[in-house]
């Protein structure tokens, strides 16, 4: 126990986290009659609030979002199914990942080509993935939250001096009061990321699952540290700046799932403009204030350099992500539409109906073991947007990882 106390004391050293000549007692709640300091004990509230957020999400998805999705013609099940090939099903049951070493032996056993087996595997894995309606519901919920968060953030910050003059983030620090609306803005934002951390294990499984899990945890950690250190002003600014673009990204996904291609392209164009304005316009203004103006107003301390370094790193990422977004835009303009899914990591590249038919024919020749396969491989309507998905997979995946999680990472880093 003594060792734990020593480690805790070393970690929470005032020489690291607070300005010179400031102690934790100086910023404790009730230490000054004219200032309402942040209370570190309040950080427990986002956890039960996360349960409320998840309940609200479930209610909306079940009784509102899902019926709307069905009315738009979004299917709750995948239209394409892999042919019933017992030998491949047996191997697939052992591992959903295809071992290239097994291709040649499986080809001999099923009388199928290695390419047909690979196509069958992609279709079979796609069967186990959530339907388009499930993804539609998930993205609609995120769009609703980001829209709410941005509007609520603007309302909360509208009468705050630091919303109009970033330098006000540093005046009087660390003795800056927490108003009730800022308290709720912070707590609800943290509860949302707590809810994402929990529901991530039940939501659509994506390739960046663990990266996003780590991101959510780091976001919560940094937001918590910013709360403890009374850096809520700059944190609230970064939150509102990053929520704005995420609204349009999620909206573009929704229209994509609903097959409103032209509307998807238009919203994605708006997203691109908003992204550039907020992430490369407003956000660098915050960086300038924290890097140039803050040292002129405040005495520097180690935690300042830690938080500001994270802000600068995030700006570098914004530049990289902007390049990827613009690359998607250029590719889309050349093709005449937004090819593939905006988040290609949601699903594998699906083959068209002719490929499925060939699989059925190939399985029918597999020594009489897959006669039922041809019947099970009913050709579906070809998806005109899947052709370009493979071309843009890498840039789509990077872009989505950025934009979907940008609000949380940014808000955390700033703090």
Q: Let me know whether 372 and 242 are in one domain.
A: no
* Pairs from 24-29 (Cβ < 8 Å, separation ≥ 24): 26/174, 26/175, 27/174, 27/175, 27/230
Query: Is 23 a member of any domain?
Result: no
Percent of the chain scoring above 90 in pLDDT: 39
Q: Regarding predicted confidence, which is higher, 195 or 371?
A: 195
pTM across the whole model: 0.72
Lowest model confidence (mean pLDDT) among 169-183, 281-295, 313-327, 392-406: 392-406
* DSSP code for 298: S
Q: Let me know whether 115 and 176 are in one domain.
A: no
pLDDT at position 410 is 37
Query: Is 324 a member of any domain?
Result: yes
Query: Is 140 a member of any domain?
Result: no
Q: Rounded to whole angstroms, what are the CA distances from 314 to 154, 234, 408, 409?
A: 22, 14, 11, 8
Query: Is 39 a member of any domain?
Result: no
Mean pLDDT of all residues in 48-61: 94
In degrees, rounded to 5, the angle at the alpha carbon of residue 135 between the alpha carbons of residues 133 and 140 is: 95
Q: Let me know whether 362 and 409 are in one domain.
A: no
- CA 92 – CA 77 distance, rounded (Å): 20
Peptide bond into 174 cis (omega under 30): yes
Is the per-residue pLDDT at 177 higher than 60?
A: yes
Q: Rounded to whole angstroms, what are the CA distances from 87 to 119, 303, 350?
A: 15, 59, 21
**Tokens encoding 39:** 């209370």
Is the per-residue pLDDT at 12 higher than 90?
A: no
Mean pLDDT of all residues in 180-186: 95
Lowest model confidence (mean pLDDT) among 253-267, 323-337, 355-369: 355-369
Contact indicator for 414, 237 with CB cutoff of 8 Å: yes
pLDDT band for position 52 (cuts 50, 70, 90): very high
Q: Let me know whether 171 and 211 are in one domain.
A: yes
Is the per-residue pLDDT at 307 higher than 50?
A: yes
Mean pLDDT of all residues in 105-128: 80
pLDDT band for position 87 (cuts 50, 70, 90): confident
Region of 260 (left: φ > 0; alpha: ψ -120 to 50; beta: rest) is beta
What is the number of alpha carbons within 13 Å of residue 267 lying toward its C-beta? Answer: 20
- CA 405 – CA 187 distance, rounded (Å): 18
Query: Is 42 a member of any domain?
Result: no
* Pairs from 165-168 (Cβ < 8 Å, separation ≥ 24): 166/234, 166/237, 166/285, 166/286, 166/288, 166/289, 166/293, 167/289, 167/293, 167/297, 168/233
Is the per-residue pLDDT at 5 higher than 70?
A: yes
Query: Is 14 a member of any domain?
Result: no
Mean pLDDT of all residues in 238-266: 91
- CA 1 – CA 271 distance, rounded (Å): 52
pLDDT at position 207 is 67
Q: Let me know whether 257 and 367 are in one domain.
A: no
Q: Let me know whether 238 and 207 are in one domain.
A: yes
Mean pLDDT of all residues in 133-156: 94
Q: Let me know whether 280 and 408 are in one domain.
A: yes
pLDDT band for position 128 (cuts 50, 70, 90): low
Tally the domains of the chain. 2
Alpha-carbon Rg for the chain, nearest whole angstrom, is 25
Query: Is 3 a member of any domain?
Result: no
Lowest model confidence (mean pLDDT) among 164-178, 203-217, 222-236: 203-217
Q: Let me know whether 264 and 244 are in one domain.
A: yes
Q: Regarding predicted confidence, which is higher, 247 or 370?
A: 247
Q: Regarding predicted confidence, which is higher, 345 or 109?
A: 109
Q: Let me know whether 208 and 324 are in one domain.
A: yes
- CA 291 – CA 251 distance, rounded (Å): 34
Q: What is the pLDDT of residues 222-251, one digit of tens each?
A: 889 889 999 999 999 989 998 899 999 999
Contact indicator for 379, 128 with CB cutoff of 8 Å: no
Query: Is 242 a member of any domain?
Result: yes
Backbone angles phi, psi at 320, to 5 degrees: -65, -45
For residue 150, what are the contacts with CB-CB under 8 A and spacing of at least 6?
240, 243, 244, 247
pLDDT at position 114 is 81
- CA 85 – CA 187 distance, rounded (Å): 52
Q: Let me know whether 198 and 321 are in one domain.
A: yes
Backbone angles phi, psi at 321, to 5 degrees: -65, -35
Closest CA to 380 of 69, 19, 75: 75
Q: Let me know whether 232 and 333 are in one domain.
A: yes
Region of 13 (left: φ > 0; alpha: ψ -120 to 50; beta: rest) is beta
Q: Rounded to whole angstroms, what are the CA distances from 339 to 80, 141, 178, 292?
A: 20, 24, 46, 42
Q: Let me know whether 110 and 164 are in one domain.
A: no
Q: What is the span of the domain harbouring residue 306?
A: 156-341+395-414
pLDDT at position 290 is 92
């Amino acid at each position: 126990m003594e060792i734990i106390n020593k480690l805790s004391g070393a970690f929470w050293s005032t020489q690291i986290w607070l300005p010179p000549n400031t102690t934790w007692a100086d910023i404790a709640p009730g230490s000054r009659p004219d200032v309402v300091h942040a209370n570190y004990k309040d950080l427990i509230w986002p956890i039960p609030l996360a349960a409320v957020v998840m309940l609200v999400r479930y209610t909306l998805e079940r009784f509102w979002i899902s019926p709307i999705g069905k009315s738009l013609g979004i299917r709750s099940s995948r239209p394409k199914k892999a042919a019933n090939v017992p030998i491949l099903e047996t191997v697939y049951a052992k591992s959903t990942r295809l071992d290239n070493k097994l291709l040649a032996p499986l080809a001999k056993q099923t009388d199928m080509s290695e390419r047909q087996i690979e196509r069958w595997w992609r279709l079979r894995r796609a069967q186990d993935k959530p339907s388009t309606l499930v993804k539609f519901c998930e993205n609609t919920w995120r769009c609703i939250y980001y829209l709410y968060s941005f509007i609520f953030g603007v309302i909360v910050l509208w009468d705050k001096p630091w919303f109009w003059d970033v330098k006000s983030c540093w005046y009087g620090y660390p003795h800056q009061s927490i108003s009730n609306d800022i308290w709720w803005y912070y707590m609800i934002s943290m509860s949302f990321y707590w809810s994402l951390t929990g529901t991530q294990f039940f939501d659509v499984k994506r390739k960046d699952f663990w990266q996003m899990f780590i991101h959510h945890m780091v976001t919560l950690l940094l937001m918590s540290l910013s709360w403890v250190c009374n850096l809520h002003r700059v944190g609230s600014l970064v939150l509102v700046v990053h929520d704005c673009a995420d609204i349009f990204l999620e909206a573009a996904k929704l229209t994509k799932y609903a097959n409103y291609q032209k509307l998807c392209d238009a919203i994605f164009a708006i997203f691109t403009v908003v992204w550039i304005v907020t992430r490369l316009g407003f956000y660098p203004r915050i960086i300038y204030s924290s890097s140039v103006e803050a040292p002129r107003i405040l005495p520097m301390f180690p935690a300042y350099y830690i938080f500001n370094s994270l802000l600068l790193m995030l700006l570098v990422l914004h530049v990289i992500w902007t390049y990827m977004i613009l690359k998607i835009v250029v590719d889309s303009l050349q093709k005449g539409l937004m090819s593939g899914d905006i988040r290609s990591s949601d699903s594998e590249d699906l083959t068209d109906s002719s490929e499925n038919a060939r699989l059925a024919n190939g399985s029918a020749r597999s020594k009489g073991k897959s006669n039922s396969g041809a019947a099970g491989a009913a050709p579906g309507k070809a998806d005109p947007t899947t052709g370009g998905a493979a071309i843009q997979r890498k840039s789509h995946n990077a872009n989505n990882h950025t934009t979907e999680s940008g609000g949380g990472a940014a808000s955390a880093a700033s703090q």
